[in-house]
Structure 1
Amino acid sequence: MISSKIIGTGTFIPSIKKENKDFLNEHFLNEDGSSFDSDNDVIIEKFKAITGIEERRYAKPEYNSSDLAYFAAQKAIDDANINQEELDYIIIAHNFGDVKVGAVQSDMLPSLATRVKHKLGIENPNCVAYDILFGCPGWIEATIQAHAFIKAGMAKKCLVIGSETLSRVVDRYDRDSMIFSDGAGACILEATEEANVGILSHATQTFAKDEAFYLHYGSTFNKEENQDVQYIKMLGRKIYEFALVHVPAAMKFALDNAGVEIDDVKKIFIHQANEKMDEAIMKRFFRLFKKKVPEGIMPLSIRKLGNSSVATVPTLLDLVLKGEIENQEVNKGDVVIFASVGAGMNINAIVYRF
């Protein structure tokens, strides 16, 4: 039976480092435009305690999201050692397109996938390029779609990318702006007939009855600024509570369908949204099996890289595979889980064996 496996990964981590102390002079406001009672050093310390974030990366002004995607894609292609003309699909997950510094519009015409194909110089017209907007779980969902194409016999090799420049869609007066960062991660997915290798199972859900606008576009908290310019906004508490209930359930559903025992899971690559939330999700997940969370099962990059949305999971995977995260590795035969939650509200998970 045909399945799909990852044969190469790549990431692009922007060079501009923004530490928490760099926000000390910002003027953070409440949603109603009023000032906080606390000084910024207190706000920032509480922020770090909750999210775990110490610093984040921003892209250089001359680079847009499609540039970051291209850089990560080229690394993945080189890592896989393939002829890029053999790619059947290029799928890019993002949420805001190319946003130039100082711009108030996003640019998605042509698609970012088309732009990456152009930058790579791929001439093959049968290499289909398209974008997917699916919130932070976008890269995992794009990987699931590529897997479906491969299983259906419609593709043999796919390039899947997650890229974002969130630093350009945040409201500087909103303390949540400190969460977000820029980056890109990519992988090459290839058809395989190896038994019990690659993607074993997956799960996806969309909750849109009451949860649709937990993440949304909204105006700046500074009422003296242009209220027609829109920025990323989120209902943090509702997202936290939602994730704790639904992400562990989706992960368990995928694991049960894979026929894999919980004790065989070696790593869980979860969306780097909030360190404390991710730790709580892990506890809830293992509690479903009446187990404690194994030490070292959840690699982290959020402390130094922040939350780059669709880019966090492929970036984390690449860093672990390349030995860039201390005391974290994946070996042949290891079972891992990829999981994410984000705007939609969307949730997904993949169970994968290396």
Structure 2
Amino acid sequence: MSGALRSVIRGSGSALPAQCVTNAQLAERVDTSDEWIVERTGIRQRYIASESETTASLATDAARAALEDAGFEPASIDLIVLATATPDNTFPATATKVQHALGCNGCIAFDVAAVCSGFLYALTTADAMLRTGMAKRALVIGAETFSRILDWEDRTTCVLFGDGAGAVVLEAQDADATRAGIIASRLHADGAQHDLLYVDGGPSTTQTVGHLRMKGREVFRHAVVNLAEVLGEVIADAGVSVADIDWVVPHQANRRILDATAKKLGISEDKIVVTVDRHANTSAASVPLAFDAARRDGRIQSGQLVMFEAMGGGFTWGASLVRL
């Protein structure tokens, strides 16, 4: 390779727990209904991990699928960046468990914590490392077992989330020899909004893992504004127009947020990849899960421009434009 490098997506994969829980099934244990959930969120089902299914096991399965899709051996991976808010342990990083399980020992492996924006943070971090030559091939994974931190007595939040994992394989290629790759990315954070979406407890405060707490209405308002702004920034950085984008793969938080953001930007709903009805909100896993689903069903094709975007607790948010 010579000259500038670009991070190209060579493969993708995903993994879901065995157990699928419909809204009707959830209503048997929570004071809610299928109609109430669908009307407010668009969610119809979600996958819930069993005791034997962990963030690491789901991440490993998704990574294996991505490697198979790319046609790469695990030993060829130089870097693993795993985004999660629900690691198997406080430490070591869940990425190291995935590294060992895959057999790509010796490569760089670490976790990124940016909640629902985690995959964007992980992707951008891996992209920077590949472009500087620190690694040639990377696994970028978003994996969560959010069911472990839900308060099942809080019907306004527990119905929103599910478990799962998604992964992509990146490879550094000569930018002069390919049009494909990550073109532009932007990341942001605003710690002043910490109390609108967080998990109470933690190792340095209560020494326990708490439950997810969210003020949904305020989060919705911030999400629409922040996502529209960061998408505008990336479009400007890339020197393209909204019309040039073939697909938007957003964080799958709530169908209302997806629709409102698309409307604010003037993007056709036909260009929005939606899986929230099937997967619910899987936090850092939602973007790669949706991306893999749209690649495998044939919607996303080689050569197309794809925009990733997400916002999560912190607040953190970001977007990345990629040509496949």
Q: TM-score of the superposition, structure 1-length normalised?
A: 0.85
Task: Report the AA paired with residue 48 of structure 2.
Answer: Y
State how 1:17-96 maps to structure 2 within 5 Å: 17-26=20-29, 28=31, 40-41=32-33, 44-96=34-86
User: In the TM superposition, what whole-angstrom CA distance separates every residue of 1:317-349 from its partner, at most 9, and x where no partner exists?
Assistant: 1111111xxxx6122221110000001101100
Match of 1:317 among 270, 291, 298: 291
Aligned length in residues: 312
Q: Is the 8 A contact 1:140 1:349 kept in 2?
A: yes
Q: Is the 8 A contact 2:82 2:94 kept in 1?
A: yes
Q: CA deviation at 1:111?
A: 1.3
Q: Mind listing any 5+ residue stretches in structure 1 that lack a counterpart?
A: 29-39, 99-106, 220-227, 287-292
CA 1:27–1:78 in structure 2 vs 1: closer, same or farther (change >3 Å)? closer
Residue 197, structure 1, aligned to residue 180, structure 2: yes
User: In the TM superposition, what whole-angstrom CA distance separates every residue of 1:286-339 from its partner, at most 9, and x where no partner exists?
Assistant: 2xxxxxx3241001111111111111110111111111xxxx612222111000
1:187 counterpart residue number: 168
Q: CA deviation at 1:62?
A: 0.8
Match of 1:120 among 102, 112, 131: 102
Normalized per residue, which structure has more helix?
A: 2
Q: What SS does the aligned partner of 1:78 have? A: helix
1:207 counterpart residue number: 190
1:332 counterpart residue number: 302
Distance 1:300 1:85 in 2: 34
Distance 2:122 2:253 in 1: 19
2:118 counterpart residue number: 138
Q: Is the 8 A contact 2:23 2:37 kept in 1?
A: no
Match of 1:217 among 199, 205, 223: 199
Larger radius of gyration: 1
Provide the identity percentage. Answer: 30
Task: Report the AA paired with residue 276 of structure 2.
Answer: I
Distance 1:161 1:121 in 2: 16
Residue 280, structure 1, aligned to residue 268, structure 2: no
1:104 counterpart residue number: none
Distance 1:156 1:285 in 2: 35
1:264 counterpart residue number: 244
Distance 2:142 2:209 in 1: 25
**Cα RMSD (Å):** 1.5
Distance 1:8 1:268 in 2: 18
Distance 2:85 2:269 in 1: 33
Match of 1:299 among 249, 266, 273: 273
2:158 counterpart residue number: 177
Residue 14, structure 1, aligned to residue 4, structure 2: no
Q: CA deviation at 1:129?
A: 0.6
Q: Is the 8 A contact 1:161 1:187 kept in 2?
A: yes
CA 1:72–1:229 in structure 2 vs 1: closer, same or farther (change >3 Å)? closer
Q: CA deviation at 1:27?
A: 5.1
Q: Mind listing any 5+ residue stretches in structure 2 that lack a counterpart?
A: 202-207
Distance 1:270 1:122 in 2: 30
Distance 1:163 1:49 in 2: 27
CA 1:246–1:132 in structure 2 vs 1: closer, same or farther (change >3 Å)? same
